[in-house]
Structure 1
Amino acid sequence: MTERRHVLITGATRGIGRAIAEELAPHWHILVGGRRREAVDQVVAQLPSAEPFVAELTDDDATLSAASGIGRLDALVHSAGITVLGNIAELTRSDWRAQFELNVVAVAELTRLLLPRLREANGQVITINSGSGLRSAPGNGSYCASKHALVAFTDALREEERGRVRVTSIHPGRVDTDMQIAIQAQLGHEYEPERYLAPRDVARTVALALSMDPGANLDVVSVRPAR
């Protein structure tokens, strides 16, 4: 029997992150990333081969402690993230900081800590970005800015680690998740789930990137709703 490769997925207790964990579960050992031990343990219990990775990723000490416990690592999937809607004239310093801290700084720090393990495995880093990382929109400027920054991070990392670690940036359109429900409610829109991608659509894209032979890499992938 082939030994399972190991993948850490942040934000794996719900939404896109959980769908990725479930999609990869038949063939991978999943490190289930999340902030709350109870939620993480529930997902771990439902997967055939999994272990918890519990950390508040915006906390330096918590992230270092959790990362130091990882031995083998073949892939790192960054799925955790937040969005705060609002016009530029309304957003506060704390709004900007919160989004950049989780969407960019935490991604960069966790990647830095785990790069030695990923280099050993000739592994992969995948960031779940957004269509907002390719274009901006009124009322969503700070989130778009954080996702544009994430593009800059992945582009630089891809070239710095070329030949050692492969790097993919995935840009989904709107996805049918709890976050999307909250966004549409804040905008005052009726929620129509059929208008959005299913989380599994994004998960399959991650699986495709991870299935590429070592001589090939999906640099940037955009996956959009058909409607």
Structure 2
Amino acid sequence: MGKTVLITGAGRGLGKALAAEFTQRGDRVVAHARSAEALREVPHDKALITDLSQPESLTKAVDKAHIDTLDAIVHNAGVAAISAVADLSVDQWQDHMNVNVIAPAELTRLLLPQLRQSRGHVVFVNSGAGLRTGPQWSAYGASKHALRSMADALRVEEQANGVRVTSVYPSHFDTDMQRKVRHAVGSDYDPQRATTPETIAWYIASFVHAPADGVVNEVRIEPPNPLPIKPRD
């Protein structure tokens, strides 16, 4: 029997690839986006429409979506502003924390009863910046470090309830965000040296579909020959 999986940020990039991968495996997809229009070409069975930059809106949105059963959440949505600490505004810091940390925490909290019932799975799509942060990555890196801490705490808290928690750290994969990041720092970009979103989606779906007697707590995924993010000479 297929699973019911909620995917945030499903309108494009990795989120869209995740929706396709889970659908292909026979799962029912609850796709999140900020608008219904963003999901027009995304395979899904149900939609969760809300803006994650306003976590206080999640209770109403979840109630409206009627998510009665749930086997997994994949927290994929995220924002990244590449800028020095000296140039980041309070609004940018708050946006990073709201979208990348607080919204995943609140969405998980709201849906924990369903996840406990199914002995389900929470997957956090983190980043290499969640392990080590360099110049101009302060807001994004801080939010991803916070996300890692939250996942670590949740993993222990929910073990007795059978809820599995996985943090995934993709290194360099082909998305619009990756292109924007490299443009911001003046770095070269070569999609042939990046992992495809479809490959990342395959790994994540495989973790969710893994036998119940094992869990991948953390995993780092990177291409065989990644192109470093550094300014052009």
Q: TM-score, normalised by structure 2?
A: 0.91
CA contact (8 A) 2:31 2:48 kept: yes
Q: TM-score, normalised by structure 1?
A: 0.93
| CA–CA distance in structure 2, aligned partners of residues 51 and 125 of structure 1 | 19
1:123 aligns with 2:120: yes
Q: Alpha-carbon deviation of 1:88?
A: 1.4
1:150 aligns with 2:147: yes
| CA–CA distance in structure 1, aligned partners of residues 60 and 40 of structure 2 | 18
Root mean square deviation, CA, Å: 1.3
Alignment counterpart, residue 21 of structure 1, candidates 19, 22, 43? 19
Q: Which stretch shows the higher mean deviation, 177-186 or 150-159?
A: 177-186
CA contact (8 A) 1:40 1:54 kept: no
1:39 aligns with 2:34: no
CA contact (8 A) 1:85 1:140 kept: yes
What is the one-letter code of the residue matched to 2:3?
R
What is the one-letter code of the residue matched to 1:177?
T
1:215 aligns with 2:210: no
Q: Alpha-carbon deviation of 1:195?
A: 2.1
Structure 2 equivalent of residue 62 of structure 1: 57
1:79 aligns with 2:94: no
Q: Alpha-carbon deviation of 1:60?
A: 4.0
| CA offset digits 1:118-143 (Å, max 9, x no partner) | 10111000000001111111111111
Matched residue of 1:137: which SS?
coil
What is the one-letter code of the residue matched to 2:14?
I
| CA–CA distance in structure 2, aligned partners of residues 133 and 25 of structure 1 | 29
Q: Alpha-carbon deviation of 1:59?
A: 2.5
| CA–CA distance in structure 1, aligned partners of residues 172 and 55 of structure 2 | 31
- Residues 104 and 61 (structure 1), Cα distance of their counterparts in 2 relative to 1, 3 Å cut: closer
Q: Alpha-carbon deviation of 1:61?
A: 4.9
- Residues 61 and 151 (structure 1), Cα distance of their counterparts in 2 relative to 1, 3 Å cut: closer
- Residues 205 and 191 (structure 1), Cα distance of their counterparts in 2 relative to 1, 3 Å cut: same
What is the one-letter code of the residue matched to 2:19?
A
What is the one-letter code of the residue matched to 2:196?
A
| CA–CA distance in structure 2, aligned partners of residues 19 and 38 of structure 1 | 17
Q: Which stretch shows the higher mean deviation, 55-64 or 146-155?
A: 55-64
Structure 1 equivalent of residue 223 of structure 2: 225
- Count of residue pairs brought into register by the alignment: 221
What is the one-letter code of the residue matched to 2:194?
Y
What is the one-letter code of the residue matched to 1:160?
E
Matched residue of 1:30: which SS?
strand
Q: Which stretch shows the higher mean deviation, 32-41 or 188-197?
A: 188-197
Q: Which runs of 5+ in 2 are unaligned?
A: 226-233
Q: State the 4+ residue runs in structure 1 displaced beyond 3 angstroms.
A: none
| CA offset digits 1:88-138 (Å, max 9, x no partner) | 122121111111110000010000000011101110000000011111111
Alignment counterpart, residue 168 of structure 1, candidates 166, 169, 190? 166
| CA–CA distance in structure 2, aligned partners of residues 113 and 67 of structure 1 | 8
| CA–CA distance in structure 1, aligned partners of residues 114 and 136 of structure 2 | 39
| CA–CA distance in structure 1, aligned partners of residues 183 and 133 of structure 2 | 20
What is the one-letter code of the residue matched to 2:10?
A
Matched residue of 2:18: which SS?
helix
